[in-house]
Structure 1
């Protein structure tokens, strides 16, 4: 598959192997962009055959560095704690063939069997359907041509995913028919209600114009 998967990492040695396993052997390139891990993340990625790129810490700058290092015409931006469902390659191939001028994102699933997790998944599905606002933990499939058209990935320390999908716009976003299974660790640690409320507050402050470098203190 003529696709580069770009994964920003920071101390992700515990989750990255499962993410890489979920990719199978489909992508032409897997680029891990490390922001200075001290837990062996970069070494594990290299052992798995990934191309490892170093970049300043921050998902925006790391993703931008990974995109710059990739040679493929299609890019999949993926978090290091997100595992793709077994049908992801078919969904991506269909999108590339049928929707070449649009970007795609996966259905969010959380690795938690609780009712709170299912409620959050429904809220996320509504947010994507009504507000056209998928987050980075759902992955983002985009052609290099479209990414260049909307101005690329800005080197933001936070909210780089929202910034990008807002520039892509609702008309150029499509839901892919596959799941992205994402870690629920932060929600389990902080509580689903508190974590969701904090995320919503950060989003509201970002839309109000608060600089991302200040929002990182709340995240």
Structure 2
């Protein structure tokens, strides 16, 4: 069995995906499996991705659905879930192996750095990492990793259109506290640049607060500007 599988959910990433996947080729040459799961892209994502991956599949749209599908077909005994706009450090494989070695129920994430010259986004990165350490809640931008056995034990990501990372963290915390690596992944600032830093901060805090108090994830997804797929889609 492959030791590590990296699972990447994508949707309409044709203009970026080949460059991002090219950065994973040193890991592939060392035996890491790369699985890309498309959620119904309407651009050339599939064509751009196919030569850079070990498996390229399709699944119903939604990060949770796509990541679960990728995990099912992957061969690694360790799973790492990576957003398409996030880049791993060069030594990610060693970091993950060392972190998970002591315990079969261990899971973790990386610190995140938002790639931007804006000072405010440096503060946002620091706040995300600090909050995660204090609460034990990780975000998808921080690249979840865990043993396959733990992933299967908890039933994978809950199939919801938003906040699947928070829900997954809550479930995993019942087994162990997260390992919060100081090594950093770098993620794109495009979401912040598109909607504005302060507006994005306010929106995300409002959505998180609403979710904490029991709001339905499908309702929150629509407020976020994402139309959830129908259950039979």
- Please give the range of the TM-score, normalised by the shorter of the 2 chains: over 0.9
Alignment of 1:81-96 (within 5 A): 81-96=85-100
Return closer, same or farther for 1:78/1:49 CA change in 2, 3 Å cut-off: closer
User: Alpha-carbon deviation of 1:83?
Assistant: 0.5
Contact 2:59 2:65 (8 Å CA) reproduced: yes
Cross-structure match for 2:228 = none
Cross-structure match for 1:14 = 15
**Residue range with higher mean Cα deviation, 53-62 or 147-156:** 147-156
For residues 177 and 27 of structure 1, the distance between their equivalents in structure 2, rounded to whole angstroms, comes to 24
TM-score, L = length of structure 2: 0.88
User: Alpha-carbon deviation of 1:117?
Assistant: 1.1
User: Alpha-carbon deviation of 1:55?
Assistant: 0.6
User: Does structure 1 residue 198 correspond to structure 2 residue 203?
Assistant: yes
Residue-by-residue CA offset, 1:158-205 (whole Å, 9 max, x unaligned): 111111011111733101242110011111121211101101111111
For residues 165 and 159 of structure 2, the distance between their equivalents in structure 1, rounded to whole angstroms, comes to 11
Cross-structure match for 1:139 = 143
| Number of residue-to-residue matches in the alignment | 219
Residue-by-residue CA offset, 1:132-172 (whole Å, 9 max, x unaligned): 12200110011111112223222111111111011111733
Unaligned runs of 5+ in 1: none
Give the 3-state SS of the residue equivalent to 2:223 in structure 1.
Answer: coil
Contact 1:101 1:172 (8 Å CA) reproduced: no
User: Alpha-carbon deviation of 1:99?
Assistant: 4.3
**Residue range with higher mean Cα deviation, 21-30 or 61-70:** 21-30
Residue-by-residue CA offset, 1:98-148 (whole Å, 9 max, x unaligned): 344211101100110211111101111211111112200110011111112
Contact 1:7 1:78 (8 Å CA) reproduced: yes
Cross-structure match for 2:158 = 154
**Residue range with higher mean Cα deviation, 128-137 or 169-178:** 169-178
User: Does structure 1 residue 186 correspond to structure 2 residue 191?
Assistant: yes
Give the 3-state SS of the residue equivalent to 2:6 in structure 1.
Answer: strand
**Residue range with higher mean Cα deviation, 149-158 or 122-131:** 149-158
Alignment of 1:1-219 (within 5 A): 2-23=3-24, 24=26, 25=28, 26-169=30-173, 171-219=176-224
RMSD: 1.6
Residue-by-residue CA offset, 1:51-83 (whole Å, 9 max, x unaligned): 111111111111111111112111001100001
Give the 3-state SS of the residue equivalent to 1:172 in structure 2.
Answer: coil
